[in-house]
Amino acid sequence: MTGYRIDCLQYANWSEKIFRQLREGGVDAIQVTIAYHENFRETVLNFEKWNRWFEQYPDLIMKGQWAGDIDKARETGRTAVFFGFQNPSPMEDDIGLVEILHTLGARFMQLTYNNQSLLATGCYEAEDPGITRMGKQVIKEMNRVGLVVDMSHSADRSTIEAAELSTRPIAITHANPYEWSPALRNKKDDVIRAVTGHGGMLGFSVYPHHLKDKGACTLQSFCEMVARTADKYGVKHLGIGTDLCQDQPDSVVEWMRVGRWSKEIDYGEGSAAAPGFPEMPGWFKDNRDFGNIEEGLRATGMNDDEVSGIMGGNWYRFFAENFGPKG
């Protein structure tokens, strides 16, 4: 069997077509976003929607809760689907819901989307006072139950503090180094160093706003960036988190960016003239294209172990160590 292929962030407009493409691409596991701004009840309905899909397509997908489920999926020719939130909104203002959400199947939760939350500061705020009093308590509870702290959309100080406060490794599931492509959402050296230095993970994104030269980014440029990052922070802390938003209508971008917090349109890193989803690079259009990244990484001189670690082995280890209760 080949190494694992794990993508730690997708938000596609799910359909049988995409589930089949996951299988054609040999993708063993994905983490899917099931909440951007949803409250607890709305998030429960999203879990329910996925239960229907698991029932409808039992030959293609299965619910993932533990690393061992990835092996079960591989043995049966399916993709294991893990759940995460891009905002702490599903726990509302109630720390007791952290354990309930983990019980339902959540495995990652961002402490912020782009704005200030009750827990921490998002990367679009002018000031970053760091992790809040409630945030410190919620990190402790997330550590206890096995819900991974994700700081993909968080500001610098908040992310560094989260890495230091958390007694378990944290993740940036979908971003790239700021020095390669200076987008607000990409991460500066001291941020990546804090996360990886405490055993955490960085998942590389192919979302064009996070790429150098956007949709025109070359496979070579992307893979050389990955190789340089591996040299700097250690290959075992790196994986893929594509941020693939396949087949989504433009209205979904509005929900992602605006939610219910503003009456105005906020296009984030997109331009106001082109508010929809940007054009993907030619070498990564959908889940059938993971082989291109694999070949591109080999072309940089990485060996088989390093490539298979980045393509999924590192996430597998991280899942195995961090999804269960502590101790």
- Per-residue pLDDT tens listing for the chain (327 residues): 679 999 999 999 999 999 999 999 999 999 999 999 999 999 999 999 999 999 999 999 999 999 999 999 999 999 999 999 999 999 999 999 999 999 999 999 999 999 999 999 999 999 999 999 999 999 999 999 999 999 999 999 999 999 999 999 999 999 999 999 999 999 999 999 999 999 999 999 999 999 999 999 999 999 999 999 999 999 999 999 999 999 998 888 888 888 999 988 775 554 444 567 789 999 999 999 999 999 999 999 999 999 999 999 999 999 999 999 986
Is residue 275 domain-resident? yes
The whole-number pLDDT of residue 12 equals 95
Q: What is the number of structural domains in the chain?
A: 1
CA-based angle 77:9:218, to the nearest 5? 100
The whole-angstrom separation of Cα 23 and Cα 247 is 17
The whole-angstrom separation of Cα 229 and Cα 147 is 26
Q: Is the dihedral of CA 165, 166, 167, 171 positive or negative?
A: negative
Is residue 202 domain-resident? yes
Is residue 1 domain-resident? no
Is residue 32 domain-resident? yes
This prediction has a pTM of: 0.96
For 57, the token pair is 């397509």
The whole-number pLDDT of residue 273 equals 45
Phi, psi of 108 (to 5 degrees): -135, 140
The whole-number pLDDT of residue 78 equals 98
The whole-angstrom separation of Cα 261 and Cα 293 is 37
Instruction: Quickly tell me which residue has 């072309």 as its tokens.
Output: 299
Is residue 327 domain-resident? no
Domain that holds residue 316: 6-322
Domain harbouring 93, CATH code = 3.20.20.140
